[in-house]
Amino acid sequence: MPATGSLQLVEAVIERFDGAPVGERRRWSDEFKAHAVAAALEPGVNVSALARRLGISPPQLFGWRKAFLKKQNADAPAGTPTPMVEIVVGEVLIRVGPDLSEAVLRRILRAVRSA
């Protein structure tokens, strides 16, 4: 710091980045969300590809699906067992619930296979 005690002022100018979205956020009807989530829950469906076909971002559809599954589990009566999927890798048994993300499952499977 200079010994003279001078002060420097910096002027910040906020500009919109090129390519940044303009306008209001899109709103989706509950009916559209329900249709999209139902399609995403079908066995063998590639959720990212489905989202692109529907014109929404994949993280948006993954979020709707996660919220639906969380609400569905919360609505289940107490004492109702949570649906689980069992995956066997060698001699290791992995039990996975519906709220586990695909990325976390991939990391778990990679760790088990490399052990």
pLDDT band at 60 (very low <50, low <70, confident <90, very high): very high
Q: How confident is the model at residue 97 (pLDDT cuts 50, 70, 90)?
A: confident
With pLDDT > 70 as the criterion, what percentage of the chain qualifies?
79
- CATH number where 46 lies: 1.10.10
- In a domain, residue 33? The reply is yes
CA angle 40/103/21 to nearest 5° reads 70
* Domain membership of residue 106 as a residue range: 81-115
Number of domains in the chain: 2
pLDDT at res. 38: 92
* One domain for residues 85 and 96: yes
Establish if 31 belongs to a structural domain.
yes
pTM: 0.48
32 with 55, same domain: the answer is yes
pLDDT digits (tens, 9 = 90+) for 14-43: 555 555 456 677 788 889 999 999 999 888
